[in-house]
Every structure is written in structure tokens, then in C-alpha cells.
Amino acid sequence: MFSGIGVPGLVLILVIALVIFGPKKLPEIGRAMGQTLKEFRNSTKDLTQDDDTDSKKQE
């Protein structure tokens, strides 16, 4: 997903985020993004498992 960015690009993004949000808000934002990604992964995993069980029932 981020294979084209590289290390200098990531450092630049982190510096910009630090300037915009400040050092106190950054951990909160990171934590919220992590929880959102975790919920998204769990939801997609549940959907793919439902599709697998539906296809097995039809066979």
C-alpha cells in the first residue's frame, strides 16, 4: 500500500502531522486509527467467512 512512499516520505508525513496536531494529540489520533483498522479487519474477516460458509452450504 505504501510501497512507493519510502522512508523520507514517511518522515515528512510524520513531521507535518506533528506540526498540525501537536505532540499531545498525536498518540490519541494514532490509537483511534489503530482501533478503526482493527474493527475494519474484523468486519472484512467476518464477511469473507460468511461467504465461505454460504458457498459450502450450496454445494
Q: Is the pTM of this model over 0.75?
A: no
Residue 14 is assigned to a structural domain of this protein: no
Q: Are 12 and 20 contacting, i.e. CB atoms less than 8 angstroms apart? A: no
* Residue 55 covered by a domain: yes
59 residues of the chain, pLDDT tens digit each = 556 878 889 889 889 988 998 888 988 988 999 999 999 999 888 888 866 665 666 65
pLDDT at position 26 = 85
Number of domains in the chain: 1
Q: What share of the chain is helix, strand, coil (3-state, %, to 5)?
A: 85, 0, 15
| Cell numbers for 39 | 474493527
Domain that holds residue 39: 22-59
Amino acid residing at 56: K
In a domain, 7, yes or no: no
16 in a domain, yes or no?
Answer: no
Evaluate whether residue 9 is within a structural domain.
no
Q: What is the pLDDT of residue 7?
A: 85
Contact 26, 18 (CB under 8 A): yes
CA distance 40 to 29: 16
